[in-house]
Amino acid sequence: MDTTTFSALAEPNRLRIVELLQGGPMTVGEIADHTELRQPQASKHLRVLLEAGLVEVEAAANRRNYKLRMEPFQALDSWLDTYRNIWNERFDNLDNYLKQLQAKNNKQNES
Amino acid sequence: MDTTTFSALAEPNRLRIVELLQGGPMTVGEIADHTELRQPQASKHLRVLLEAGLVEVEAAANRRNYKLRMEPFQALDSWLDTYRNIWNERFDNLDNYLKQLQAKNNKQNES
DNA sequence: TAGGAATATTCCTTGACGGGAATATTCCTA
DNA sequence: TAGGAATATTCCCGTCAAGGAATATTCCTA
């Protein structure tokens, strides 16, 4: 995992844009409207997202439709695999501990 | 989803530290050794990770053991849910498209 | 209790990033 | 083909984050 996806998403306005694009492709103007960003800054942030591979553009005459790319999110997803293992492991340990505790209690109650 | 986890992971050395800690708790000195970071910078990065909630510390005399916290990763995981829906949706569309195409071909071959 | 090991903090400097304003570019249509 | 709409780019400035070096802090042990 390299850090470009993280840096792209580390900027609040860009994260906002990404979440906006969940609803489908959008035009620069629409994005600017929904984010209180001026058009130039919207363009700039979209450029960063584009270079990070988080979005792609399709030119339609005057307009540009920006759309989410799924690859980076899928990469994130598999990056998380390792951590899922870790937290499952920890959960199993806790689980075992609780079971042992319960077994112990049962034994006491028997006597 | 707020951006603090992303900014914490956006710094290469910090991402490196997080991945190191997959192997279990580590001391500041150990971390510094494994990352070509000087001790002060290691401390500083750990502070950031700490404040972002990505790690926790346990003091042991002179040493401090830093250890991963799972909550932020779990949060990331559920944040990804939305995007999983999106890519499944797209995959279904592609799937349907291919099936239609195949049905069409079969029809042609029949005649 | 002095010294040393492990860690944290401070100060400084530098480079990158984000916003604002102005301007350039592209494309459509009257 | 001139003008206008949509978008991109450039320049400037202020802020912030990261590394280096030095120093402070904490805790152990001889």
- Chain B CB within 8 Å of residue A82 CB: yes
CA distance A66 to A43: 10
* B102 Cα to chain A: minimum distance (Å): 26
pLDDT band at A111 (very low <50, low <70, confident <90, very high): low
Please determine, for residue A10, whether its predicted confidence score (pLDDT) is greater than 90: yes
Query: pLDDT above 70 covers what percent of chain A?
Result: 99
* Residue of A56, A51, A80 lying closest to A66 (CA atoms): A56
Strand C bases, protein C-beta under 7 A: 4-10, 17-23, 26-28
pTM of the model: 0.89
Strands (E), A1-111: 26-27, 55-60, 63-68
For residue A41, the model assigns a pLDDT of 97
Please determine, for residue B111, whether its predicted confidence score (pLDDT) is greater than 70: no
For residue B96, the model assigns a pLDDT of 86
On the CB side of A110, CA atoms within 13 Å amount to: 6
Q: What are the structure tokens assigned to B82, written together?
A: 């939305």
CB–CB contacts below 8 A, A to B: 66
Query: pLDDT above 90 covers what percent of chain A?
Result: 79
Instruction: Classify the C-alpha dihedral B14-B19-B22-B25 as positive or negative.
Output: negative
